[in-house]
Structure 1
Amino acid sequence: RLAGVGDEEISDNVWDALRSRVTWLMVNLVTAVLASLVIAQFDATISQMVALAVLMPIVASMGGNAGTQAMTVTVRALSTKELDRFNIRRLITREVLVGALNGVIFALIIGVVATVWFSSPLLGGVIGVAMVINMFAAGVSGILIPIALDRLNIDPAVASTAFVTTVTDVVGFFAFLWLAGLAFGLL
C-alpha cells in the first residue's frame, strides 16, 4: 500500500491493476510538477552555477528517503493501533528529532564531499544547511501527513507517499537553491 497500489492482488487483471495505480500516479504527477515549478523559479541561479544542478538531487533524495522511513513507522503504528492520543506526542517528538539529527549527520558528510568535489567551502555549507532543513521537514511530514490522512478517513498507506515526497522535494529544492542564491549573490 505504501507504493500506492491499494488492495491490488497478484490475481488482478491488467485493468484492475491499472485502475488501482493510476489515481495515485496522477497525484504524484501533479505534485512532481509543483517541485518542478520551484526549480523553475531558480533557473537563472542554476544556469550561473552548474554545481547546483549536480547536487540538487542529493538533498531531495535524502529527504524523500528519510520521509519514507518516518512515514512507514507512522503507518505501521496506525495500522496496528499502537498510535493513540497518549503516545502520539512522543512519536512526533521522536521523529522530528531523528530527522533533525540525521540532517546534521548527513549535512556534515555531504558538506565535506561538496567542499572537496567543487573546491567550495561555501557550497559545502549551503548544501549542509539545506540537508538539515529538508531532513527536519522529512521527519515532520513523514509523521504528520499519515496522521492527517488517517483522521480524514483516507488510507495513509496508499496516499502518504505522494504527499511526503512532494514536501521533501519542494522543501529540499527550495532550501538548497534559495540558500545558494543568497550565499553566492545569484538571486
Structure 2
Amino acid sequence: MKKLKYIALFGILIIVLASCDYNRRTTGWQYFDDMVTSPAYESYTPNPNFADGKTMQPPVAGTIPRGVVPYAYQKTDEDRALAAATLVNNLEPSTENLQRGEKMYGIYCMQCHGEKGDGQGSLYVSKKYTYPPASLLSEKMMANPEADIYHVITVGFGIMGEHGSMIKPDDRWKIAMYIKNELQN
C-alpha cells in the first residue's frame, strides 16, 4: 500500500512538472498550427491571389452596401434645385433631434461655418482656410429649405466637399433642422 502511494505521488509529481511551462511567451503546445498562426492576409499586405496584387479589394461595381440607400442627386445646380423642391424631412423638430443636430453641426460644420453659422469658423479666422465659407445666416440661405441644406451636406457645393459618406442621412436632416430652427431664428 505504501508503495502504491509513492507511485501515485511520483506520477502526480511528473504530471505537475510536465505541465509547468518555463517560457511565459507561449501558451504551450500547438496541436493545430494553422489555428494559432492565421494563414489570412492582412488588409494592406500584398496578395498574390488577386491580379492587382492587393489584399484589400474595392467593392464590386454596381453593388450597394447593406443599409445604404443611393442618393439620387448629383453636385449640379439643377439637381440642387430639384432636391430642394422634392426632398422632405420626415423627422420632427423635437428637442432630442435638435440637440443631435447641434452636436453633429459642432463636429462637421462649425470649424468652417462658425458657432453662429456666420462663416467665421476657426479654420477661416485662423487663416488656415483662405476662402471664406458661406454664411448660413445670409438672406439666400435663410430662404432655402431644409432639403437644400441636406443636399449640400450630402454632395457638397462649390469648394465644400461632400459629407454624405461621413454623416448618416438622419443626422444630415438633424443638422439641417438645427440650422433652420436654431441658427437662423
TM class by smaller structure: under 0.3
Q: TM-score, normalised by structure 2?
A: 0.26
Q: TM-score, normalised by structure 1?
A: 0.26
Larger radius of gyration: 2
Structure with the largest fraction of helix: 1
